[in-house]
Amino acid sequence: MKFNNTISIGKQTFKVSLAKTTEQIQKGLMFQTELPKNSGMLFIYSYEDYHWIWMKNTYIPLDVIWFDENKIVIHKQKLYPGDLKKATPPEKSKYILEIAANTFNGSVGDIMLFNKE
């Protein structure tokens, strides 16, 4: 997996792989056994909705952060390997970030910025 893009949320910066296609979004971080420090996957949907995440075939605990169309954090949740319960935000989202658990120290209301390299 390549982490070719950089985003910032507050004082944190993450190298991310982008998931844009249906296939990329459905696979997500399945079968990953580790993530490099401060890296993850950013899911980019074409429209806002109650996009959900589950942990099917996911082997590492994750911090999952949902953003609205303005890239504002609307919800965050820690998810555990193998949990098949759907995690859904309380509001519609357009972006979802998955990173290693206990990594995200931001808050609801923070803004995500795409950094140019």
Whole-number pLDDT of residue 115:
78
Per DSSP, the chain holds a count of helices (H) and strands (E) of 1, 7
For 52-89, the pLDDT digits (tens) are 999 999 999 999 999 999 999 999 999 999 999 999 99
Structure tokens at 74: 């609307």
For 25-36, the pLDDT digits (tens) are 999 999 999 999
Whole-number pLDDT of residue 116:
58
CB–CB of 13/38 below 8 Å? Answer: yes
Tell me 87's DSSP state.
Answer: B
5-115 CATH pick, 3.40.190.10, 2.60.120.1140, 3.30.1340.30, 3.20.20.450: 2.60.120.1140
Residue in 7, 29, 21 with CA at minimum distance from that of residue 101: 29
Residue that the structure tokens 């996957």 belong to: 41
Q: For the chain, which residues make up each domain, given as ranges?
A: 5-115
3-state helix, strand, coil in the chain (%, to 5): 5, 45, 50
Strands 62-67 and 39-49: unpaired
CB–CB of 108/7 below 8 Å? Answer: no
Whole-number pLDDT of residue 76:
97
Is-above-0.75 flag for pTM? Answer: yes
